[in-house]
Amino acid sequence: MAEKVKRGKDGGEGGVPETGCSRKLRISRRLGELPPYPFAEIDRRVEEKRRQGVDVINFGIGDPDLPTPPHIVERLCEESRRPENHRYPSYRGMARFREAAAQWFQGRFGVSLDPGREVLALIGSKEGIAHFPVAFLDQGDTALVPDPGYPVYRNATILCGGLPVVLPLDEERGYLPDLGALGASLLERARLLFLNYPNNPTAAVADIAHFEELVHYARKYDLIIAHDNAYSEITYDGYQAPSLLEVKGAKEISVEFHSLSKTYNMTGWRVGFAVGGEELISALGKVKTNVDSGVFNAIQLAAVAALEGPQECVRESCEAYRRRRDILVSSLRSLGWEVHPPKATLYLWMRVPRGYDAESFTGELLEKADVVVVPGTAYGAHGEGYVRFSLTLPDDRLQEGAERIRRAFS
């Protein structure tokens, strides 16, 4: 007997089968375990103010306002016109791009890489970081996740069935992890350790000695290290960020993620690369061959122009962020607030004034100054008591935002 079909409003058969029962949509358990979107309430309040005609200044987004350098854009235009670049790209990335990444890495960090086996193109470093746990965690396996930290580390672990365990980052230790404090039993269970220096959101930095200590623990307890080094080139006052792979023996147990997003103001282009031990890179590559089709060749070739071309554009960007950092630090300190100028990243991490927690201070800034910042709790429970400012606003907007805060809290 043919199934009776319920007619849609237009009389067509666009409705659902009339089966006499309804089914409730059920999302996966893993998706349900993800924490709520931390900025939802802030976004709602911002939109409400904007509907009222209020000019809101947003210090929340870490998206460079500076344009991609012209020589990179020109290379994209040139390569995008070539029909040979319109076909599926290589899953691992073009050999030309991987060679450029390896040469850049050698010149910057003094570490030799085999571009054929130890370099992998990524659709932005976030994509690679999110897929990395899929290659190495089984159901219930443990990953050590920094807190406060970039939410992708925790969420990617959950989405592949792993168990994220908090790795506290405290101001007293310069926001550097203390693996020894976790205890041997936990370290023996853990399979994966996420790191991020220079750090988002705290702007903390780590030296080679600390990386050596972490590699020691990783080798002792058979941990794989995933190091997010997206901010390695955004540094100030003569500071240069190291690579984890500079540590002897680190390459075999580590993958380091690099991005062109912040370095060359290419956040929308979605291109980066992973480097590390051959087995680790191969496993991540196997995941990617099953879930994506690679980076558009024209974008990879534009990225080659970035990596091999003049680097004055990077220094100019860092100088712009340093200038903004100093303006904002000076203004906030004038209110008697505790602020430390960062050596790296696009962010200023500040302890909230006495009498506030992260959420209440964020709300007060929005209500009294029409300024948005990110509460530290958006990056984990250990972010309580702090807020993050982004330096990715034009100078005039940043100065106006700083002045609004000064007037509101003087």
> Which pTM was predicted?
0.91
Judged against a pLDDT cut of 90, whether residue 24 lies above it is answered with no
Above pLDDT 90, what percent of the chain?
87
Which pLDDT band, with edges at 50, 70 and 90, does 35 fall under?
confident
Judged against a pLDDT cut of 90, whether residue 21 lies above it is answered with no
pLDDT at residue 27, as a whole number:
87
Handedness of CA 301, 304, 309, 312 (dihedral sign): positive
Domain boundaries, the chain: 37-59+312-409, 70-308
**pLDDT tens-digit series, residues 172-196:** 999 999 999 999 999 999 999 999 9
Distance of CA 378 to the CA centre of its chain: 13
Judged against a pLDDT cut of 60, whether residue 144 lies above it is answered with yes
Above pLDDT 70, what percent of the chain?
94
**pLDDT tens-digit series, residues 212-270:** 999 999 999 999 999 999 999 999 999 999 999 999 999 999 999 999 999 999 999 99
**Rounded CA separation 72/79 (Å):** 11
Judged against a pLDDT cut of 80, whether residue 6 lies above it is answered with no
Judged against a pLDDT cut of 50, whether residue 325 lies above it is answered with yes
pLDDT at residue 300, as a whole number:
98
Closest by CA to 150, choosing from 189, 213, 192, 203, is: 203
**Which of 124-128's residues contact partners 24+ apart within 8 Å by CB, and which partners?**
124/259, 124/261, 124/270, 124/271, 124/272, 125/228, 125/230, 125/257, 125/258, 125/259, 125/261, 125/272, 125/273, 125/274, 126/152, 126/259, 127/270, 127/272, 127/292, 128/257, 128/272, 128/274, 128/284, 128/288
| Domain at 37-59+312-409, CATH from 3.40.50.180, 3.50.50.60, 3.40.50.10190, 3.90.1150.10 | 3.90.1150.10
Which pLDDT band, with edges at 50, 70 and 90, does 89 fall under?
very high
Q: Can you tell me which residue has the tokens 């790296």?
A: 344
pLDDT at residue 19, as a whole number:
53
pLDDT at residue 36, as a whole number:
76
Which pLDDT band, with edges at 50, 70 and 90, does 2 fall under?
very low
Judged against a pLDDT cut of 60, whether residue 10 lies above it is answered with no
Which pLDDT band, with edges at 50, 70 and 90, does 22 fall under?
low
Averaged confidence pLDDT in the chain: 93
pLDDT at residue 44, as a whole number:
81
Which pLDDT band, with edges at 50, 70 and 90, does 43 fall under?
confident
Q: Identify whether the C-beta of residue 310 lies closer than 8 Å to the C-beta of residue 71.
A: yes
pLDDT at residue 48, as a whole number:
87
CATH numeric code, 70-308: 3.40.640.10
Which pLDDT band, with edges at 50, 70 and 90, does 9 fall under?
very low
